[in-house]
């Protein structure tokens, strides 16, 4: 028995709809009189419906079979949407159709435009849906999928950046992705990040193919780091916070000195993420032209997909910039320190600074400090 569903927002995109439903499904145009489309401030979050006399929302009506509906419900629950029954007009008359809308947050909303969403977010949304609804992921709990939803979109953005970036090969071989042959791909764990366990073969240096090998890794999104530097006072800002990695390793002190850092959210550029994280973690209002690229690098490519865009940021750093900040929604408790460049290098030399991006940024600053200070 089929179920009529009314699509009026992101799933008007045919590739995203097919990724969610698992296949292309026949549709017909549907209209919802007396309503308008609206959205939250973040265009990526998709559309909602609001009653508005004289309004008219055009969408698509699809009759879904149980397996298709199950995939749709799984995806919509991960997105935090709820079902609502609506009376929709279509060629066959008025039908009762199911639609998926966000819960009423009471927040002010604005008009939502499909074309604007499509231009910015369609590509990542399709990749994220494929990841969320892979054969392994569908066996994860709704809570796990809900937690993974935002990270899947961030990871999708990372995939698109990776595929668009240049791949210089002046020393390494000019390898391509078809020099790897995946044979079995699984995701046994997916929450804040995912664990990939893949069987694959890769091209050897003599041109032959390797035997099938099993590799496991952490699937994460791209991230940014920012080391704020005041060239007039010759001081930097570090942040300090508890980190799980040292705890799991058995370290006696699990609080880490670091640059400002955070993941690149869906729809963000690395620069936008750097500016946002500086404000959230250190209450610094930075500007794009004062961000100086240090290096773009994988911190541990043997098992982690995370890719770091690292910056030094020129800014004014009074001692009053010290304090405690962070997002309560993420249980962040982050303390800021303003200290001299010489003190920073002492921390690196003694091993008190053990964060890789901080050490790299400190050495970059050591190489460029005289130029930045105008000496």
Catalytic residues: 330
Q: Are 249 and 357 a contacting pair, CB within 8 Å? A: no
| Closest C-alpha to 124, from 37, 46, 8 | 46
Long-range interactions of 47-53: CB distance < 8 A, separation 24+: 47/8, 47/9, 47/10, 47/112, 47/114, 47/117, 48/9, 48/101, 48/102, 48/109, 48/112, 49/8, 49/84, 49/86, 49/99, 49/101, 50/109
Q: How many other C-beta atoms are found inside a 10 Å radius of the C-beta of residue 372?
A: 14
Cα–Cα distances (Å) from 215 to 91, 104, 185, 299, 302, in that order, read 52, 44, 10, 18, 9
Q: Are 221 and 309 a contacting pair, CB within 8 Å? A: no
DSSP E strand stretches across 221-365: 223-230, 235-242, 255-258, 260-263, 291-297, 308-314, 323-325, 334-340
Q: How many other C-beta atoms are found inside a 10 Å radius of the C-beta of residue 177?
A: 8
> How far apart are alpha carbons 179 and 209 in whole angstroms?
9
Supply 63's token pair: 């009759």
């Amino acid at each position: 028995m089929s179920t009529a569903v009314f699509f009026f927002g992101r799933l008007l995109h045919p590739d995203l709809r097919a990724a969610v439903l698992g296949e292309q499904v026949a549709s017909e145009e549907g209209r919802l009189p007396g309503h308008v489309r609206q959205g939250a401030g973040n265009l990526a979050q998709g559309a909602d419906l609001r009653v508005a006399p004289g309004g008219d929302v055009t969408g698509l009506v699809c009759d879904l079979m149980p397996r298709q509906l199950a995939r749709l419900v799984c995806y919509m629950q991960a997105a935090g949407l709820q079902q609502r029954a609506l009376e929709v007009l279509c060629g066959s008359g008025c039908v009762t159709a199911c639609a998926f809308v966000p819960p009423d947050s009471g927040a002010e909303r604005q008009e939502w435009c499909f074309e604007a969403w499509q231009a910015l977010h369609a590509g990542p949304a399709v990749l994220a849906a494929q990841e969320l609804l892979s054969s392994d992921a569908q066996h994860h709990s709704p809570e796990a999928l809900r937690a993974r939803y935002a990270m899947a979109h961030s990871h999708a953005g990372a995939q698109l950046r990776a595929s668009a970036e240049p791949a210089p090969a002046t020393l390494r071989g000019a390898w391509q992705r078809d020099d790897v042959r995946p044979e079995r791909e699984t995701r046994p764990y997916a929450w804040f990040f995912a664990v990939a366990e893949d069987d694959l073969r890769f091209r050897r240096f003599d041109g032959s193919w390797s035997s099938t090998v099993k590799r496991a890794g952490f699937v994460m999104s791209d991230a940014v780091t920012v080391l704020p530097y005041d060239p007039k006072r010759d001081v930097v800002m570090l942040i300090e916070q508890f980190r799980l990695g040292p705890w799991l390793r058995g370290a006696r002190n699990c609080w880490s000195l670091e640059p400002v850092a955070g993941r690149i959210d869906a729809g963000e550029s690395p620069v936008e993420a750097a500016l946002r994280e500086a404000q959230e973690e250190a209450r610094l209002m930075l500007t794009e032209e004062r961000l100086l690229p240090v290096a773009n690098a994988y911190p541990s490519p043997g098992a982690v997909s995370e890719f770091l865009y690292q910056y030094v940021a020129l800014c004014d750093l009074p001692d009053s910039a010290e304090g405690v900040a962070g997002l309560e929604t993420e249980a962040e408790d982050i303390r800021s320190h303003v200290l001299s460049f010489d003190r920073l290098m002492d921390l690196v030399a003694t091993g008190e600074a053990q964060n890789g991006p901080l050490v790299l940024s400190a050495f970059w600053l050591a190489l460029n400090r005289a130029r930045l200070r105008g000496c």
